[in-house]
Amino acid sequence: PPVLKLAVIEGDGIGQEVVPQGVRALRAALEPVGVTVATTEFDLGAGRWHRTGETLTDEDMARLAEHDAILLGAVGDPDVPSGVLERGMLLKLRFGFDHYVNLRPTKLLPGVPSPLADPGDMDFLVVREGTEGPYVGNGGSMRTGTELEVATEVSLNTAVGVERVVRYAFEQAEKRRGKLTLVHKHNVLVHAGHLWQRIVDRVGAEHPDVTVDYAHVDAAMIYLATDPGRFDVIVTDNLFGDIVTDLAAAVGGGIGLAASGNLNPSGDYPSMFEPVHGSAPDIAGKDLADPTATVLSVALLLDHLGQLEPAAAVRAAVESDLAARTGSEILAARGTTQIGDDLVAAISGR
Amino acid sequence: PPVLKLAVIEGDGIGQEVVPQGVRALRAALEPVGVTVATTEFDLGAGRWHRTGETLTDEDMARLAEHDAILLGAVGDPDVPSGVLERGMLLKLRFGFDHYVNLRPTKLLPGVPSPLADPGDMDFLVVREGTEGPYVGNGGSMRTGTELEVATEVSLNTAVGVERVVRYAFEQAEKRRGKLTLVHKHNVLVHAGHLWQRIVDRVGAEHPDVTVDYAHVDAAMIYLATDPGRFDVIVTDNLFGDIVTDLAAAVGGGIGLAASGNLNPSGDYPSMFEPVHGSAPDIAGKDLADPTATVLSVALLLDHLGQLEPAAAVRAAVESDLAARTGSEILAARGTTQIGDDLVAAISGR
Ligand SMILES: CC(C)[C@H](C(=O)O)[C@@H](O)C(=O)O
Ligand SMILES: CC(C)[C@H](C(=O)O)[C@@H](O)C(=O)O
């Protein structure tokens, strides 16, 4: 029987609670199609760093590369200096495995409260570039710590890098409602911004059935707060994508439900799936974390593997579970494991 | 009698409608204290550029510099390529006049609807850096327009530039509720971010009565959408400030009410006051624009000149006007000029 080789990085805090529920959901979804899941646990994150000083070694990367996909929880704790795990592990994975598509859907599901008074129908997909922009780590400082310090951060953008993610976004728009919005700030970041705009124009000409528009990132904030239903597919750079998707998560039902996939569509490297939320040390270890974002990330993993029916089963389970909730009391009353049990039962049709 | 020399840049679109109302409000507010306003109109913006190809000449800058303050409406129309007026005029003014503090208050006033279901008490001040960061225009591209194009944008940050705006922000926090939040992304933009964090820590040590915290810009999105009442003073860089303040405007009652000041606190150059909104070509010339953001920008101008009682009179007039509105119908029914009339009457105590 076919075996899916899954690399599992629980990480820290609630990552260790939500990932096991994600793995259970994955197994339940793949059982009907006869695929079994072979997991390899990777000890990465704050715990490992505190013990060994290591973030992610070349050997880790080589072992991870042998898997079909990676499921990641969250990493970090307050005692790790800012940037150590982000640059040394998370971004090293995204860059090393050329995860040039960071896929983040927002769909306000029935029964889920939004902080917006009138959220309307919200169902859009952010395609965030994952390997370029201000995230490349090309910066530095001189006279550091003195009154004459100068610090730089360089955003690097290539036609190759922009075009491949723009193409991916247009393909998604074709499969959805046929609308694509470029979000950037090309009136100020003219060089990077005009590169993005030119490529969107050029690829757009090959997709006459897709309606294309543009929003400055600041205007996109206003739209997300007042009229998120206007979006179908948003394509944007790495930093703007980070910002836009957290706001999207907030208005779309909360960070506890936001899923993401870091894709290498070429298949040269394993793609990685993770909830958008962090390790939440304040609630960790208390069975209080909502595993739904991780389970929805598993649905993205199944999409990526072409397992569309199991993916649909996972989403249907989540939708009916959410529709039955009546607010945060239900989450607290059930806890992480119980929600996992309920989702697995629903996926298995029990 | 003392005379205030005001440079007036109406600009384009609704800028030409809202600025005259702002000037009337300014005159009405200063009358009781015996200050008269001498205005000089500057023809800048899309109109001038279409006619002459000029954005902002050295001679314009020299003449503007002779004024006590600048009131700007908005610039731009769809036929000006993106970036021309932004870089060539607006940012040239901000950089040339060393407007290192970009002040953007958000206060949800009584009677004003918010898109948030439960906005709570919202009263915070964003202190956005105005002369550094990714806005410096230090970027370029090579092999432009080819498949091998590389485009860069460099964020430049100096200890001097960060410290002066951070000091300003702490002073504001002292005068307000004693809380300051640094918004950045120092887990990814480690060089610039750690410079900001170190300076906030150091200046914070001189202000033990101010509580300091930190939010990544993505997390700040979530807070602004779910709990904006948590903020008092936000200090942040130029690009993050642009993004944060548009979301702040949206949740705080809309871009039609959002005021801003571009300050040179040293007084070496005139400070500039402008509504956050743009030139809105779609509604221009129809008496449909709300002049309130411009009038509130005039209140910031009065604060800056130390005219605190006139500033308070302007704010009181706006608050009572807004409290009497019952939604957008009232705006449409009254129009730009009528709202101006009503505000001027209220400022004059008539
Ligand atoms: C943790 C951080 C490096 C990361 C990012 O900025 O991409 C996170 O915010 C995310 O959105 O996945
Ligand atoms: C027009 C543009 C250059 C400007 C900015 O990005 O600062 C505007 O968005 C603003 O916020 O004042």
- Give the residue among B7, B259, B244 at the shortest CA–CA distance from B133: B244
Say how far apart CA A323 and CA A321 lie, in whole Å. Answer: 6
Residue B266 lies in a domain: yes
Residue B235 lies in a domain: yes
B139 and B223 assigned to the same domain: yes
Give the C-alpha distances (Å, rounded to integers) separating A310 from A145, A267, A295, A339, B87. 54, 20, 12, 19, 51
Q: What is the DSSP string of A105-142?
A: EEE--TT---SBSS----EEEEEEE-SSEEEEEEEEEE
B81 and B34 assigned to the same domain: yes
Residue A108 lies in a domain: no
A269 labelled catalytic: no
For A119, other C-beta atoms within 10 Å of its C-beta total: 19
The binding site of B for substrate comprises: 94, 104, 128, 218
Lowest-pLDDT range, A319-328, B67-76, B156-165, B248-257? Answer: A319-328
- The whole-number pLDDT of residue B270 equals 98
Say how far apart CA A178 and CA A248 lie, in whole Å. Answer: 20
Residue A109 lies in a domain: no
Work out which ligand 2 atom sits closest to the CA atom of B241. Answer: 11
Higher pLDDT, B350 or A242: A242
B83 and B2 assigned to the same domain: yes
Residue B108 lies in a domain: no
Query: Tens digit of pLDDT for each residue in A107-120?
Result: 999 889 999 999 99
Q: What is the mean pLDDT of residues B69-87?
A: 96
Work out which ligand 1 atom sits closest to the CA atom of A239. Answer: 6
A57 and A159 assigned to the same domain: no
> How many angstroms separate the first and last alpha carbons of chain B?
24
Q: Where are the beta strands (DSSP E) in A133-269?
A: 133-142, 150-158, 179-184, 211-216, 233-236, 259-263
B305 and B191 assigned to the same domain: no
Q: Residue B328 pLDDT more than 80?
A: no
Which of B187, B222, B252 finishes a domain? B252
Question: Could you tell me the residue range of the domain that residue A299 belongs to?
Answer: 1-100+258-350
For A323, other C-beta atoms within 10 Å of its C-beta total: 12
Which of A203, A232, A252 finishes a domain? A252
A133 min Cα distance to partner chain B (Å): 8
A225 CB neighbours in chain B (<8 A) are 115-116, 225, 247, 250-251
A344 and A278 assigned to the same domain: yes
Instruction: List beta partners, residue B187.
Output: none
B226 and B297 assigned to the same domain: no
- The whole-number pLDDT of residue A327 equals 58
Query: Tens digit of pLDDT for each residue in A186-238?
Result: 999 999 999 999 999 999 999 999 999 999 999 999 999 999 999 999 999 99
Q: Residue A329 pLDDT more than 60?
A: no
A313 min Cα distance to partner chain B (Å): 30
pLDDT bin (cut points 50, 70, 90) of residue B119 is: very high
- The whole-number pLDDT of residue A332 equals 60
Question: What's the number of domains chain A is made of?
Answer: 2
Indicate which CATH number applies to the domain containing A287: 3.40.718.10
A123 and A253 Cβ atoms separated by less than 8 Å: no
Which residue has the CA at smallest separation from atom 5 of ligand 1? Answer: A242
Say how far apart CA B123 and CA B112 lie, in whole Å. Answer: 13
B344 and B223 assigned to the same domain: no
pLDDT bin (cut points 50, 70, 90) of residue B331 is: low
Say how far apart CA B122 and CA B228 lie, in whole Å. Answer: 6
A92 and A262 Cβ atoms separated by less than 8 Å: no
- The whole-number pLDDT of residue A325 equals 78
Say how far apart CA A172 and CA B250 lie, in whole Å. Answer: 29
CA of B261 to the centre of ligand 2 (A): 12
Report CB contact under 8 Å: A139, B189: yes
Q: What is the pTM of this model?
A: 0.97
B245 and B136 assigned to the same domain: yes
B19 and B134 assigned to the same domain: no
B306 and B323 assigned to the same domain: yes
A241 and A269 assigned to the same domain: no
The ligand whose atoms approach the alpha carbon of A82 most closely is: 1
Q: Residue A326 pLDDT more than 90?
A: no
Q: What is the mean pLDDT of residues A231-256?
A: 97
Residue B105 lies in a domain: no
pLDDT bin (cut points 50, 70, 90) of residue B330 is: low
- The whole-number pLDDT of residue A69 equals 98
Q: Residue A73 pLDDT more than 60?
A: yes
For B96, other C-beta atoms within 10 Å of its C-beta total: 16
Residue B109 lies in a domain: no
Which of A198, A221, A252 finishes a domain? A252
How big is chain A, counted in residues? 350
Q: Residue B350 pLDDT more than 80?
A: no
Residue B106 lies in a domain: no
Q: What is the mean pLDDT of residues B295-313?
A: 98
Query: Tens digit of pLDDT for each residue in A336-350?
Result: 999 999 999 999 997
